[in-house]
Amino acid sequence: MHPQFASADGSPSHRVRDIYLLSPRLLPPEVIAVAFAKTSRSPLPFREIAAELSEERSGEFHERWVVGYGHASVAEHAVLHLAFENLSRLAVECLESNRLCSYTEKSTRYQLFDSFYVPEAIAASRHVDLYLETCRRLFSLYQESLGPIRGVIEGQNPRRADEPEAAYAARLRSRYIDVCRFLLPCCTLANVGMTANARALEHGIAKMLSHPLGEVRAIGEEARRAAAAEVPTLLKYAEPSPYMVESEAALRELAAGRSWPDLPAEGSGAGPGRGVRLVHYDRDAEARIVAAFLYRYGALSYDQAWSGASAMTRPERDRVIGEALGRLRPRGVPLREVEHTNYTFDIVCDQGAFFDLKRHRMATLTPQPPTVELGYAVPSAFEEAGLGPRYREAVDSATAASITIGRDLPHEAGYLVTNAHNRRFLLTLNLRELFHLIPLRAREAGHFSYRRIALMLLEAVREVHPGLAARIPFADPPPASAEIGRRHLAELFAAARR
């Protein structure tokens, strides 16, 4: 049955519902952006608006309204797909720090790596031989360890009775490469596909052009040139940001210039067996989201909803939470009202796990710079394969080289941080994002490093809000984080021998 439409006087209208694509194969992104923008001022259908536009007229529109009057949201309708090849994983970190973009990158789980980036600053320094030798040593052991680690993983994971040989080989491959990836340094080359609207891309390019690493600034320049071929007007202000450069320098100086209280390692999030600390949370979280549910579905002011939720007994609140979240299934998305409460975690984990977790861009993630000062993780499989001493020697050599280079080139020293080295970061996210992150990263098929962290997030929330944690949906009951650690990690915070 076709929908019916009426004119203002109640008589039948000639209008029909129409949904279609304005294809980027036929129209440039800047023209599409104008076609959408002009609907606020034109009664014509989008096709007719687009037919009247040229690239020149679209550029004039953007020059006036986006650049001149600051209607930057128009630029969100111009979408580009950029391919980045042969970037260091250190540069990828900056590229992927933009929240409103989409990325797919070369996987350390499914592909092998054999190349690395040599920064110009190091190539021109007295440290170049040390840098090259350290990278060769890491990549050599990475390649040599693939066979022995595969043998260990195969012994731990026998083929299932109904499992095809190709599927078994793929399952083994992902798991032994997952272990060997700990040896890869941040200078390892990778490819990334990026989809972004012009507004987000402009901000992302400005961040890259303001970055302390020459490689990242060069990537920003190349991205700007490539994108300007499609959206020249919308990237007019994609340039270095004095605000970013000067503010970051001032804050770095302030942080270095103070005397901070000494705390036990446990207080920093890096204590034995630890890696996640819940440092801030809403003590009224359950009442807050119950009030939000009642506010949405009842004809109440928020004061009424909050007063009612606060006065409820625990069984009464549990009933509301159960009705709102009890029907949720794995991979389901909870109602948006659970966004009204937040959690902040201080996390220390290996660089490889951090690189995976940073993809959750709906969260607010504040990392400290990559460092070798927090020790490193030792996967049990290296010990079981008889490669433990060689693994430690290789990571220790990267530690010593990074410290030596860092005395002259502190930013470039990060290229020698391996996936094994620990990284500290602050993670703030709402309950809805936790409902997404924890089941996704805690899955049995996931990498054991981030599985452990996801399960520690779950356990931290369970301690303060057991009723909410109980509603996070899992296909199977999750194991304890300590079990994952015992099974896969011989050491979490190995201190480097320098």
- Average pLDDT for residues 75-80, to the nearest whole number? 80
pLDDT digits (tens, 9 = 90+) for 306-337: 999 999 999 999 999 999 999 999 888 999 99
Report which of residues 405 and 252 the model is more confident about: 405
Q: Which two tokens stand for residue 362?
A: 């709906």
DSSP for 441-479, written as a single string: HTSTTS-HHHHHHHHHHHHHHHHH-HHHHTTS--SS---
More confident residue, 265 or 30: 30
Geometric angle at alpha carbon 261, from 258 and 266, rounded to 5°: 130
| Alpha-carbon gap, residue 194 to 102, rounded angstroms | 6
Query: How big is the chain by its Cα radius of gyration, in Å?
Result: 26
pLDDT (mean) for 421-427: 97
Predicted confidence (pLDDT) at residue 273 exceeds the cutoff of 80: no
Residue 79 binned pLDDT confidence (cut-offs 50, 70, 90) = confident
Asked whether residue 380 carries a pLDDT value surpassing 50, the answer given is yes
Phi, psi of 234 (to 5 degrees): -75, -15
pLDDT band at 1; cut points 50, 70, 90: low
Q: Which of 93-97, 230-234, 445-449 has the lowest mean pLDDT?
A: 230-234
pLDDT at 199 over 90: no
Q: Is the pLDDT of residue 243 over 60?
A: yes
CA-angle at 97, arms to 94 and 100, nearest 5°:
140
DSSP summary character for residue 39:
G
Which helix (H) or strand (E) is 427 found in, with range?
Answer: strand 422-430
Percentage of the chain beyond pLDDT 90 is 69
- State how far the alpha carbon of 140 is from the alpha carbons of 93, 146, 284, 324, in Å: 24, 10, 53, 53
Q: What angle do CA 8, 12, 13 make, to 5 degrees?
A: 70
For the beta carbon of residue 131, count every other beta carbon within 10 angstroms: 26
Which of 33, 35, 22 is CA-nearest to residue 78?
Answer: 33
**pLDDT at position 96 over 90:** yes
Q: Which amino acid is at 456?
A: M
Q: Are strands 422-430 and 364-367 parallel, antiparallel or unpaired?
A: antiparallel
**Closest CA relative to residue 15, chosen from 56, 48, 46, 45:** 45
- Provide mean pLDDT across the span 109-134: 95
Average per-residue pLDDT in the chain?
A: 88
Q: Which of 434, 448, 437 is nearest to 483 (CA)?
A: 448
Distance (Å, whole) CA 292 – CA 298? 10
What the block records as the tokens of 451 is 């599985």
Instruction: Band the pLDDT of 271: cuts 50, 70, 90.
Output: very low
In terms of DSSP bridges, do strands 489-494 and 376-379 run parallel, antiparallel, or are they unpaired? antiparallel
Q: Tell me what the mean pLDDT of segment 152-162 comes to.
A: 92
Contacts of 240 (CB under 8 A, 6+ apart): 206, 209, 210
Using 50, 70 and 90 to split pLDDT, how confident is the model at 268?
Answer: very low
Strands 189-197 and 342-350: unpaired
What pLDDT sits at residue 63? 59
Nearest to residue 25, comparing CAs of 178, 230, 217? 230
As a whole number of angstroms, the distance between CA 486 and CA 376 comes to 16
Q: What percentage of the chain's residues is helix, strand, coil (to nearest 5)? A: 50, 15, 35
Spell out the long-range contacts of 332-336 with Cβ–Cβ below 8 A and sequence spacing 24 or more: 332/473, 333/432, 333/435, 333/436, 334/431, 334/432, 334/435, 335/293, 336/432
- Residue at 137: amino acid letter: R
Please give the average per-residue pLDDT across 254-271, as a whole number.
Answer: 63
